[in-house]
């Protein structure tokens, strides 16, 4: 049987295994703490972000959002273009799925609502209208 022996000592005879193990454990702990801090500081990336107000804007200017869907978004805390532009499409899909079959059919067009909302938030109304024209044509 062949025995495998790993030499963990440095040239001066000191044992470096413990030193490397401590560095590895320290790096793991530092990564864990930094990840936790970033998660805490990052907060919720959805609707209730810093700078978002509760001022209700007319979300029906976004292609695919009518008065009933706008009410669903309001109920979920998405009141304006700023909040909508920073809402994950997965969350929008879930709002529509939870609302029932009548709204579930709109889930396929919800993927572009945040991008449309960003144009509206920034005041690029002409660009938004051009894009909505393309969306309506189905091109």
Residues near 9 by Cβ (< 8 Å), separated by ≥ 6?
15, 16
Q: Are residues 129 and 67 in the same domain?
A: yes
Q: Is residue 48 part of a domain?
A: no
3-class SS of residue 55: coil
Q: Are residues 38 and 66 in the same domain?
A: no
CA count, 13 A, side-chain hemisphere, 36: 6
Residues near 107 by Cβ (< 8 Å), separated by ≥ 6?
92, 93, 96, 97
Number of domains in the chain: 2
pLDDT at position 46 is 46
Q: Is residue 17 part of a domain?
A: yes
- Quick one: average pLDDT of 111-139? 86
Q: Are residues 86 and 38 in the same domain?
A: no
pLDDT at position 78 is 94
Q: What range does the domain containing 72 cover?
A: 59-137
Q: Are residues 37 and 63 in the same domain?
A: no
Taking only the tens place, the pLDDT of each residue in 83-100 is 999 999 899 999 999 998
């Amino acid at each position: 049987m062949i025995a495998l022996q790993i030499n963990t000592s440095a040239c001066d005879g000191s044992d470096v295994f413990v030193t490397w193990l401590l560095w590895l454990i320290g790096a793991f702990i530092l990564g864990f703490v930094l990840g936790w801090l970033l998660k805490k500081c990052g907060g919720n990336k959805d609707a209730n972000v810093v700078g978002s107000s509760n001022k209700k804007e007319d979300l029906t200017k976004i292609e695919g959002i009518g008065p009933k869907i706008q009410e669903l978004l309001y109920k979920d805390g998405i009141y304006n273009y700023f909040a909508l532009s920073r809402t994950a499409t997965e969350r929008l899909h879930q709002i529509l799925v939870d609302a029932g079959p009548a709204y579930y059919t709109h889930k396929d067009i919800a993927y572009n609502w945040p991008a449309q909302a960003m144009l509206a938030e920034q005041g690029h109304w002409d660009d938004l209208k051009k894009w909505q024209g393309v969306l309506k044509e189905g091109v």
